[in-house]
Amino acid sequence: MAKWFKWEKSKEKELKEKELMDNNSDAAAEVELPTEQDRSEDEALIIEVSENNQSDKKQGFFDRLKSGLKKTRDSITNKIDQVLVSFGKIDEDLFEELEEVLIMSDMGIETSLEIISELRETVKRDKITDTDGVRKAIMEIISSKLEDENTELRISTNPSVIVVIGVNGVGKTTSIGKIANLLKQQGKKVVVAAADTFRAAAIDQLEIWTKRAGVQLIKHTEGADPSAVIYDAIQHCKSKDCDVLICDTAGRLHTKKNLMEELKKIFRIIQRELPDADVETLLVLDATTGQNAVSQAKTFSEVSQLTGIVLTKLDGTAKGGIVVSIKNEFNVPVKFIGVGEQMEDLQPFEPKEFVKALFDN
């Protein structure tokens, strides 16, 4: 009896499924296939949504940039505006007050003098008679100081090498992780070499960041020869057809001579093993240190040919004017800026966006 009941239920289920399939077939026959025009409209919609997402992403970073530059904006732009409001006419006293504001904002004496000198010439040449015109002229002069054709990374060879240098505590390890993440999002196969083998926990910290970025780390034990790490990483990149090798380095300025010799050795190995590779040498600087960052740039430029600056912690300082000072004094482009702790808060530097965020009230 039980078997008969199961067979009946099974038969009933089979009939219902057949009926459902027949109904679906009839319904499917009535469905109109999309025309070429429909498909084109759908594709256009997908492209539009994609472009909107990219626009939202860029706008999102501009908002973070603007927010991150608040302290700098209070230090530079707001004080410039206060000076302009307090002066009813454009004279030498106005220029001197503006010059003082720029110097106090860590733009450096030499850079500040140049900006005000160019401002005098612009006011005279363009016959500017109102403070709004002066403000616009300052904005354009600062923007011109930052403009550089080489703000993008030069990584066209396979593999290309990015050597990251800088003193301890400036955000070197986190910058490496964030750059690796950015390059991976661009479809690059990235490898990181942990060649800072002397600082305690440096390798462990870098391992955390490379895991977050989803890229491979080549490491030795603590205290190993940094050059050996670089050599092994290069061989790995060659065998695995990697796109970019990012090399961490030690940052012990208190043993300056040894540090500089170590860096020279690393560059010799890269040149020997990858003679035709694009090599970027990025100096990481902490924006909160102000003019001390300029001193660091001078020290490192003596041992290596810097190709770019990574300026971190802009969100935590009023000394963002250091961006202009470094670019103007060393003619080394700022390639990345950091305005927060999140992975996406380190982004390629865009001079016009920076100045816009700085002067946008």
Looking at the domain 76-146, which fold is it? Four Helix Bundle (Hemerythrin (Met), subunit A) (1.20.120)
Listed in sequence order, the DSSP H helices in 214-301 are 226-240, 256-273, 291-301
pLDDT reported for residue 258: 74
The least confident of 34-43, 79-88, 193-202 is 34-43
Q: Give the pLDDT score at 61.
A: 60
Instruction: For strands 346-348 and 334-338, give the pairing.
Output: antiparallel
- Average pLDDT score over residue span 205-213: 94
Residues 6+ apart with CB under 8 A from 97: 83, 87
Question: Which is nearest to 246 in space by CA: 214, 222, 208, 218?
Answer: 218
**Which residues in 108-126 are b (16+ Cβ under 10 Å) and which e?**
beebbebbbebbeebbeee
10 Å Cβ neighbour count for 249? Answer: 23
- Taking 3-state DSSP, the helix, strand and coil percentages for the chain, each rounded to the nearest 5, stand at 65, 10, 25
Is 143:355 a contact under the CB 8 Å cutoff? yes
Q: What is the pLDDT of residue 211?
A: 95
For tokens 């170590």, the residue is 262
Token duo for residue 246: 């990012």
Q: Which helix (H) or strand (E) holds 151?
A: none
**Mean pLDDT (whole number) for 106-118:** 90
pLDDT digits (tens, 9 = 90+) for 291-334: 788 888 888 887 778 999 999 988 777 777 888 888 888 888 88
For residues 177 and 210, what is the distance between their CA atoms, to the nearest angstrom?
6
Extents of the domains making up the chain? 76-146, 160-359
pTM of the entire predicted model: 0.77
pLDDT of residue 29: 34
Q: Is 184 exposed, middle or buried (0-12, 13-18, 19+ CB in 10 A)?
A: middle
Structural contact between residues 146 and 324, judged by C-beta atoms closer than 8 angstroms: yes
At 108 the pLDDT is 83
- Tell me, yes or no, if the two domains 76-146 and 160-359 fold the same way: no
| Selected residue with higher pLDDT from 34 and 79 | 79
**DSSP string of 205-234, one letter each residue:** HHHHHHHHHT-EEE---TT--HHHHHHHHH
123-176 pLDDT tens trace: 999 999 898 899 999 989 998 888 776 788 999 999 999 999 998 889 999 999
Q: What is the CATH number of domain 160-359?
A: 3.40.50.300
